Each structure stands twice: as C-alpha cells, then as structure tokens.
Structure 1
Amino acid sequence: MVDVRRFVERGITVTTQLSKAAAVPGPTGHPLLGMLPALRDDLLGAILDGFHQHGDVVAYHVGLPRGPRAVSVDVINVHHPDGIHQVLTTPQVFSRRASAYEILREFIGEGLLTSEGDRWRRQRRTLQPLFTPRRVARYTELMADEAARVVDELAVTAGSVVDLYQVMQRYTMRVVGRALFGDDIDEVVPRLQELMPILGDLALARALQVVKLPLSWPTPRARRIGQVRATQYEIVDRIIADRQGRAGGAENEDLLGRLFAAEDPETGQALSIEEIRDQVLVFLLAGHETTSAGLAFTMHLLGRHPEVQERVVAAIGTGDEELVRAAVMEGMRLYPPVYSMERMSESDVVVSGYRIPANTKVVITPWVTHRHPEFWPDPERFEPDRFLGRQERPRYAYFPFGGGSRSCIGEHFALLEMTALLSALLARYRVDTRDERLAVVPRVTLRPAGPVRATLTLR
C-alpha cells in the first residue's frame, strides 16, 4: 500500500526548504551581455574569482538581462563537496541534459560518455567488466613497452629541450591505440592525433555560441564539423570492418575484440556496430586528451620542484609506486584535465541553502573545488604528500574522474598509464622546468596553451 502521508510530508518539506532558501549570489558582469565576455576571455579566472567573492554557490548570468532562453541563461556553479555530492549522486534531479553533452554527442555519437537513460545503463553494464582493475592490469606490459619507447626515442643530449605535451600525446595515443586495435596502429595513430585537437577546438567554439544553429545549416563552421566528423568515422569504421572480416586469435585480446564479444549481463544483448564505433571514439577522446594533458602538467610541476622530483625518483628506485601515484594525483588536483562538468536541474531544488530553479544549467568545477582552502591548505602549492596515507577530507573535495554512477570507467587505466610513463621517464632523465611558465586553455578538456618546454639531462 502506498504511504500517501509520506509523500505529502515530503512535498511539504521540500516546499518549506524552497521557501526558506536564498537566491544564489553572483557577479553582474556586462550590462548587456552579463558574464559572457568575462567567461569567454578568462573562464578559469572568472569562476575562481566568483568563488572567492561569493562563496560555494555562484550564479552567472550569460546574455541579455531579459530575453528568451536562446539568448539569456543563468548558470549556477556549485563548489562545496556536499553540494557536488548532491549534484553527482541524484541523477533524477540533476541530469546530463546539458549543452556540453549535446555538443559532444554531435561529434562522437552516443557512447558511454554521452548516452542517457536505459541506453546508458545497458552500455555501462556491458562495458564495466572490461575495466575492472584485474582486466586493466593486463595492459601493464603494453604501457611499459610504450613508456620505454618514449624514453629511448628521446635520446637527448645534456640540456636538450623537449615539448612534454607533444611527448605525452604521442605516448597516450599509442597506448590507447594499441589497447583498442592491437599492434597495427602505425597508420591510424598519426591521423587520429591530428584530428583530436581540431575536434576539441570546434566543439569549444560551438559551446561558446549563444545561439547554436543546427549543423544541417550549411555554415562554414557546420561544414568543417561535418568534414572532421566524417573523417574520424571513416578511420574507425574501416578498422571495424576490417576486424569483422578477420576475427579470432590474438585480436580478441585487444579492446576492440572485447567490445565485439561483450554482452549485457542482464539481457545478453551485444553492442551494435554503431555503438562499438561510438565507444571507440569515446575511448580515443577520453583516453588520449585527458591523460596526455595530466601527464604534461604533472611533469611540469615536478620540473619546478626538484626536491619533490628526487623523492619520487628515490621511490621509483625502491619499487614503491605510492609516491609516484600521489604526484600524479596532486598534478590532477592543480590541473584537472576535466576541469568542469555540467548538469541540468530537472526540478526546483535546494543546494547548500540556495534555491536552484528547474531547467537551470548547474556546473561543478574541479578547477575551483580542488583549490578550496577549507580542504586544501595553501591550495596553490604542489604537495604530493596530500595523497599519502589516510586523509580526512570529504569524498568530493577531489574528483578528477567525476563521481556517482557516471564516474569515469577508465580511471584505473589512466592512473596505471600515467604511473608507467612517469616512472620510466624520471628513472632515465632529470626534468627541469624552473624557467618555464605553464599557461592552460579550457577547451573540451584542459590543455596547455602552447608547448610545455622542459630541459632534460641524463641521470
């Protein structure tokens, strides 16, 4: 029997909370365009300033002061771990019906990153067994081989200057390429490596459009997006078609072979060819861009702090990977490759004492929360010891891989991949970036604004 009283009481409680909740504070910005110019010119600086000035929940009005949603919208940023927990773990209230995922869906289809509802749940059940720590550990040798290749190819002389980001991009693309497709990647990797940054730039440009025209309209940008999308589909479709024609043997051991064999444990349903293609595109984007940037950022920080670098090298020498992993995690605290995540409120809701109306874009930003002084003393300092031993801090004070049911399925893979390269490179070379400045740009993911230069010397 349904307890009607419980639903009535809950409705009264929610209504009372909403009536007592405060309106969300925030900066006013430009008299006509609101915060659009500030967010477009310096997104990361603007949201960090907003947090310092207005607190844990901040409203940014974008567009005309009054007008239709197409040209006027409020964006709410939530920064406290308790509020982030609420946003990430109540998908019935905070859905992924947000523009960022709609744009990604236009570029890479409906894979695990962009799908919703029953389609997503079926994909998650099907793919989760492929990314358990035990399954991921099978790629350890592959990662070690590619890390050794990077170290050997550098072959630097004393005082050689390299672009760490370029080195890391080549490494991560080869790792994810071999994990997906096996050893036959020499033709594919260079083409995909050219396409991924272009895709990111086009997606960001589309995200910053106040009015988004349909891609079916023949604008120059829409045509360019269509060209890039067609090229990436052609590359992946050709690989899939080739694999269909010669299945069996060792090829079943790579990730593409496992995607062909994967079944939903509840229904026994396999992935369609279109779904396999979309998963491949998600893995290429998420497994390449984010990991290469995270590695470059961490190496830059270690190069600026030689005393920490030498402690990490000493740990590598003893086979203790805890400090190496801590350095990677601290690098992603200061420079989280996934610097923000969007949700849409499906109903009126109260977060941290503030009222958020239905159909409002809600953004959570690791870039800001990872610098929250309540949980990170001296937040701009690079200190891997923050991640050693048992730490008493809220779960969502640190969330570079998201959280809740939509947390990143590739977290174990990425951390293992980053640790492998860091260990191999630092064991051979001393990295110095003390004379270099790191500038970053928020695209689809956080990327360096230019080369990440470092001076390498043999140990």
Structure 2
Amino acid sequence: MTTTAPPPARPTAIPGPPGHPLLGMANELRRDLLGTMLDGYRQYGDLVTYRIGPGWKWLGPPAVAVYHPDGVRQVLTNPQVFNRRTAGFETLTEMFGEGLLTSDGDLWKRQRRTLQPLFTPQRVAGYTDLMTAEAQRLARSTEADTVVDLHELMQVYALRVVGRALFSDEVDDVATELQRLVPLASDLSIARSMQIVRLPLAAPTVRNLRFTRASAALYAIMDRILARLADRVDTDNDDLLSRLRTARDPETGQPLSPQEIRDQALVFLLAGHETTAGALTFTLHLLGHHPDIQDRVAAGGPDLVRAALLEGMRLYPPAHSTERRAAVDTEILGRPIPAGSPVLVSPWVTHRRPDFWPDPERFDPDRFLGERDRQRPRYTYFPFGGGPRSCIGEHFALLEATVLLSTVLARYRVESLDPQPRVTPLITLRPAAPVRAVLHAR
C-alpha cells in the first residue's frame, strides 16, 4: 500500500528584519531608506515585512514591501484594494492640499477626469518650442570649461519650463525660496509620516509648528504668483493655469474650485520641476562618467537620447518608492495581507533586480532599445508608477528631459568630476550634495 504525502503547508508569515524591540525598523528606514529596502530584498526576497514601532496590535499591522514586478502590478492596478489612505499621503495632504497627487476615491476620479485632457501627448507636444527655447537659453548661458553644479542647472531649466507652461510667465523670482523650502517640506513630511503617534497639527509642538510654517510659506509663494496673474483671467493665454480655470469634469460639467486650482497649481509647480531636474541631473552625471556612451547618445538621435534618460531613471528613479494601504484582507503573490497593512513598492529596488536587469548597477541605455526592451515584463520598470494612478505628467516630463539632453549634448561634452553621488530620498530623489561637472564645447 502506498501513501501520498500531503503537500507542504504554504508559509503565511512574511519574513523581515526583526529591528529594535520598541522602535522596530523605524530608525533604519529613517536613516537609510533605500539601503535598508535593498538589503531587505537581498536577504528576504520578493515580500518583506518591516515593523515600525513595538508591534502592539492596536498600532496596526506591519508594513509589507513588494519587490517582485507581479506583486507591484497587483498593488498599482487595484486601487479599490490598495488605496492611498496612508500615513504618507495623509501627511502630504496636510502639506500640499488635496490635489491630484494626494486625493483619493471619488475626489481623485473627478480630478483625474477633469485634468487628463490637459496632458494628452498632442497637448504636451504644443510645449516643444517652449522647452527648446529654454534648453537653448541654458546652453548659451553656460560657460564652457568651468565647473558647474548639474543639479542647480537642471533646476533652473525645469523651473523655467514649468513656470512658462503653467503660468506663461517666468518664476525666477521664487527660485531661491523654492530651493530652500522644497527639501525642507519634504523632510518634514517624511518625518511626520513615520511618527508612531502623530499628534494633530493643531497641537503646538515644535515639529508641528515647523511643518505648518513650511506649508504656509509654499502657499504664500503660490498666492503671490496667482495674485500677479489675476488680471489675466480673461486673456487668451493657453497655459496650464488658464486650462485649469476652464477645465470641466466631462461627466458632470463641474469646474475645479478656486482651492482645487490653487492646490493643483502648487503640486504642478513643485513636482513638475523637482522630478525632471533630478532625472536630468543623474542622467547627465552618468553620461559624464561614460564618454563612449555619451558620444553615441549625442550622435544617435532621439531614440538613443530617450534610452539614456530611461536608463538614468532606472538607476535613479525620481519617485524612488511609494505606498498604499490594504483596504480589505487580500493576498499578494499568494501571501495573506491583512486589511490596514501599509504596502510599499520601490522602483529603486525593483529596478535593481538581477533576474530582470543583468549587472543591475551598470549604466547601459541599450537595455531600452530593440527586443530587450519589448520583452521585459511591464512592472520591472515603473518610474512613473502604473495603473490608473500613473503620473499624469509622464509625457510632459519625458519630452522636457529629452529636449534638454539633446540640446546640451549637441553643444557640450559632459565630464563628471565626482564619483557616484550620494542621494537623499525625500518625497523625490535628490542629490545630497552638488553634482559637479565640466561642460566642454564640442
């Protein structure tokens, strides 16, 4: 008589680092978010649990990070199951208002329907001349054979582009304030989101006062710009602000409220220049360390320029990680996820998986050309997110960045002076110090 052994029981507990008995992994994630997540993937695999706090049940379930592209697809394409009602997005709402970046549910659906026509590829293509003019302006004004900070140059370019596209006006007068406030607001937001117990902002703690002052300062900048442009409401300007004022929900005909316009304009101004400036900075830095690739890209036309940009964003994704919350009991990759669990996905980690990206730390734009690019599973690469909440500004950002790269590389040969740059993972990925380079005339 033969017997059949029962199948092995499926493991239920998702592994992860134990962390501190009281703080869990809070200190490690705060001190080195990207390194801690990458170490977690290398040690524990596709799904990793990170406990933040002492593990008491009343604090809720631990966070689960999802590093396999099949799991990323599950999280990003099922907003009814994985929503944005998270500590991180609640904090961003407190800082930046209820714009498209932070809203959720029916409010987000209405905003997305209303704003989507503003960012179609055809509409975005209408900004090509503006972007080209600003790229040429930067190239002409940069002195050859002198040391420059690539991040500073790219911030100038990206801010001028988004200022003209959004307001039909330059915003150079607020650049210095924004360069101080944006990283401060990001740092304060992340710190607040990672507090085990968050007091209401009305509580006059030192942290809360710094947070509310930073938010008020950002809105004060936006209000100054809007006040300056108030007399242009009835003009024929075709900028994004004018489009926001005339946009209507295609289902209900409802316009955006003045507060919604204010919130959307603030997010477009901040995210629209921060993410692109970072992507360009890191891509130019990488090209400056690979002169043979740089020469190929400079001579290779728009497809190769775009491939270099995409590879730069693979290694340095502007949106390095994001989070969701499980609205119901569910599963990811066959493992149970309790309702209420924070769920993290990280392009920084998934973009470095050697099973999908051989020799993952190597800069190789050819990954995004030909058959190699077409055969790669979708969610091995997601610098703009994915699913219904993918970044609405993707076409704008890619066009803006390829125009700048083409213009600069046609005029200059970039020589990077620093080794691999240190990065700061705030709301977006930023260099932790100036990214020095010399631009030599070709």
Common topology (TM > 0.5): yes
Q: Which amino acid aligns with 1:51?
A: Y
| C-alpha spacing 1:193/1:174, structure 2 compared with 1 (3 Å) | farther
d(CA) in 2 for partners of 1:449, 1:190:
17
Q: Give me the whole-angstrom Cα distance separating, in 2, the residues matched to 1:247 and 1:221.
A: 38
Once the two structures are superposed, residues 101-140 of structure 1 have per-residue CA deviations (whole angstroms, 9 ceiling, x without a partner) of: 1111001100011111111111101100000000001111
Residue deviations 1:294-335, cap 9 Å, x none? 1111111111111110101112xxxx2000000000000011
Structure 2 gap ranges (5+): 1-8
Partners of 2:49 and 2:83 in 1: CA distance = 19
Q: Does 1:455 align with 2:438?
A: yes
User: In the alignment, what sits opposite 2:377?
Assistant: 394
Aligned Cα root-mean-square deviation (Å): 1.7
Poorly superposed stretches of 4+, deviation over 6 Å: none
Q: CA deviation at 1:174?
A: 1.0
Corresponding letter in the other structure for 1:341: T
Residue 405 in structure 1 maps to residue 393 in structure 2: no
Question: In structure 1, which of residues 20, 24, 37 is the aligned counterpart of residue 14 of structure 2?
Answer: 24
Deviates more, 1:231-240 or 1:121-130: 231-240
- Write the deviation string for residues 244-279 of structure 1: whole angstroms up to 9, x where unpaired: 43323342x111011111111111111110000010
Indicate conservation of the 8 Å contact 1:94/1:345, yes or no.
yes
1:291 paired with 2:279, answer: no
Q: CA deviation at 1:205?
A: 2.2
Cα distance in 1 for partners of 2:192, 2:105 equals 25
Take 2:259 and 2:346, find their aligned partners in 1: how far apart are those partners? 32
Identical residues among aligned pairs (%): 58
Matched, 1:181 2:181: no
The equivalent position to 1:350 in structure 2, one of 315, 331, 338, is 331
1:432 aligns with 2:421: no
Equivalent residues of 1:436, 1:453 under 8 A apart = no
- Residue of structure 2 equivalent to 1:15: none
Question: Aligned-pair distance for 1:381?
Answer: 0.7
Aligned to 2:263: 278
Q: Tell me how far apart the structure 2 counterparts of residues 39 and 189 of structure 1 sit (CA, whole Å).
A: 31
83-92 or 231-240: bigger deviation = 231-240
Q: Per the alignment, do residues 408 and 40 of structure 1 end up closer, same or farther by CA in structure 2, a change over 3 Å counting?
A: same
In structure 2, the residue matched to 1:144 is 132
Rounded Cα–Cα distance in structure 2 between residues aligned with 1:66 and 1:188 = 46
Could you state the TM-score of these two structures normalised by the residue count of structure 1? Answer: 0.91
Q: Does the CA contact (< 8 Å) of 2:418 and 2:436 recur in 1?
A: no
Residue 400 of structure 2 corresponds to residue 417 of structure 1 = yes
Secondary structure at the aligned position of 1:457 is classed as strand
Structure 1 residue matching 2:108: 3-state secondary structure: helix
Q: Is the Cα–Cα contact under 8 Å of residues 417 and 436 in structure 2 kept in the other structure? A: no
SS in structure 2 of the partner of residue 279 of structure 1: helix
Q: Does 1:220 align with 2:206?
A: yes
- Structure 1 gap ranges (5+): 1-18
> Per-residue deviation at 1:73?
5.1
2:58 match: secondary structure: coil
More displaced stretch, 434-443 vs 350-359: 434-443
Q: Deviations over 1:50-84 (max 9, x none)?
A: 11111101111121143631xx7511000111111
Q: Among residues 89, 106, 119, which one is paired with 2:107 in the alignment?
A: 119
DSSP-derived class of the 1:62 partner: coil
Match of 1:373 among 326, 349, 354: 354
Give the aligned partner of residue 74 of structure 2.
86
Q: How many Å separate the matches in 2 of 1:447 and 1:186?
A: 20
What do residues 324-380 of structure 1 show as CA deviations (whole Å, max 9, x unaligned)? 000000000011010111000111111112111110000000001001111111111
Alignment partner of 1:108 is 2:96 = yes
Counterpart for residue 132 of structure 1:
120
After superposition, the Cα gap between the structure-2 partners of 1:334 and 1:184, relative to the gap in structure 1 and judged at 3 Å, is closer
Please report how far the alpha carbon of residue 21 of structure 1 lies from its aligned counterpart in structure 2 after TM superposition.
5.7
Report the 3-state secondary structure (helix = DSSP H, G, I; strand = E; otherwise coil) of the residue aligned with 2:21.
coil
Aligned equivalent of 1:205, options 191, 194, 199: 191
Give, as a single letter, the amino acid of the residue that structure 1 aligns with 2:123: R
Contact 2:327 2:340 in 1 (8 A): yes
Of 227, 230, 248, the residue aligned with 1:263 is 248
TM-score, normalised with respect to structure 2: 0.94
Deviation at 1:37, TM superposition (A): 2.4
Tell me the secondary structure at the aligned position of residue 65 of structure 2: strand
* C-alpha contact (below 8 Å) 1:161/1:454 kept by paired residues: yes
Residue 397 of structure 2 aligns to a residue whose secondary structure is helix
User: Across the two proteins, how many residue pairs are aligned to each other?
Assistant: 432
